[in-house]
Structure 1
C-alpha cells in the first residue's frame, strides 16, 4: 500500500518526528511505500493535504485533534482515502471514543488490519469538523489560550484562559434553531458534538456516536464559571441532563445559532474566530476512518 504519514512536530512534546520515523520504518519493512510530511506552521497541513493525499491508500495523521481537523479541511471533496489518527495531543477526543492506541507498533497494525468505517462530519459555515463545535464559554477559553499558547499544552495550560474567559461573559443570549425550527431555544452556550468525550475529562454528549448520522446538541442556560464547573462535574459522574434547564437533543440536518453580538466558536478544540451567525450542517457518512476491529458503532 501507499501510505502517507503527516504530522504536527510540536505535538507530543516535540517527538512527533521520532514517532513518524519509527512508524515509517515498521511500515517500510512490511513492504509498504511510505511518504512523510511534517507540518511547518498553522494551516500548512490543510494547504498540503490536497496534493499529498492523491494516489494514497492510507493516511495516518500524527498529532492532536486540531491537527486532524486541519488535515480533513484540506482533503479533496472527492477523497476516499481512509484516515487513521495517531493521537499525540492533549485531549484526543476522537481517539478516546474510537479507543485508538497510542503505541507506534499498534498503529502500524491498524494501518494494515484496521476496519474502515464511514464516519459523520459537519460543516460550521464553511469549515468542516468531525468532533465538536462549541459556541460561547468554551470557545472563549480557546480564544484566550490561543493568545498565550506556545508549543505543547496540557490541562494546566487552560487554568488562566478559563479565568479570563469567565470575566468576559456574553452579554446577549444565543438563539438556537434546530432542523429549521423543529426545536427552538434560548441559551448562554451551545455544544454540538459527534463524540461522547469532552476536553478529555468527561462524557458531555453521553449519547453521541460518530456513525449514527446525527449531531448531539447540548444547550446550556448559564455560562458563568460556577455553572460551567457544575456542568463538567455532572457530566463526569452522572449525565448532563441531571441539571435543570439543560437541553439535550439530536439534530438530523442543521443547527442555527444567532445573537446580537459576534459569537466565539471553537472547532475540534481550537478557536475558530467570532461569527455573526453560526450555521452547522450535518454530513453523515462523509469521512472514511480506520478503527480497531472491536470498535462498536
Structure 2
C-alpha cells in the first residue's frame, strides 16, 4: 500500500484525501518539522507560505517549495505576527490551514534554574501560538478552515528538566481544545499533534545534555523516532482536518492512560535526579533557536 491509496474492507483500493491546492501557512518553517512538512506539502501540490526567524534557512526552504512566499517573523511579537500573517495570506489569495509549529526548548531546573528560560519558552511556545491563532482566525473561520497545533507528548508526561517545555505544550493543548469549541459554529476545525522524541535538532539541542543523560542514563526516554511518519501524519491531518494525530503510534496509548504513565515515570526516575539537577544548574545550554530581543511580558519572572 502506498501513500496515495488505502484498502477498503472488501480489499479494493481507494484514494486518500489530497492536500493539492490547499493554501497552508506554516510557522517555524526554517528547520525540523516545519521545513520537512513544507517541502512535502509543496511536492504534493499544496501552496505554502512560511514564516520564521532564521532567514537564510527559511529562504532555502522557500526556494525548495517553488519560491513560496516567506517572511521573517518573531511569533512573540503580536504586531509583527498580525502584519506578516495578513501579508502572506494576501499572497496566497486566502487561507485554508495553519500549522502552529514554531517552538523552542531548553532544559530548566525549576529550583535554582534561570527563570528567563521559562519566560522565553512561554513567550514563543504559548504566546506565539496565541498570537498566530489570533491573526489567522478571521482568515480560517470558514467551512474548510483548519488549525493544526503542534503540541507534544510532553504535554501529558512530565520529566525533570523539561518543566518549561512541558508547561508550554500543555498550555497550547488547552488553547487548542478551547479554540475547537469557539470555532465550531464557523465550520472550521482544530487538530492537535502529539509527538514523542523525534529525530530533530529540537530534541538533540534542547535536551541532549549532560544533565539529562545523568538522570535518564541515556540521551532520550523512549529513543529517537524518525521524522518521516510524523510529517506524513501532519499531511493526512491537513487533508482530513483531523482532531488528533500522534507519532509514533504508541503515543496514543500513553495519552489514553496519562495518570498511570506519569506514575511510572515518577517511579522509574526516583533515583539519580539530584545529581542531574546539580549539573543542570551550571551546565551551559542554549535555546534550540537563538531568539531576538523582546520586552519581557512575564514581569513576575523578570
Fold in common (TM above 0.5): no
Structure in which a larger fraction of residues adopt helix: 2
Structure number with greater CO (CA < 8 Å, separation at least 6) is 1
TM-score, length of structure 2 as denominator length:
0.30
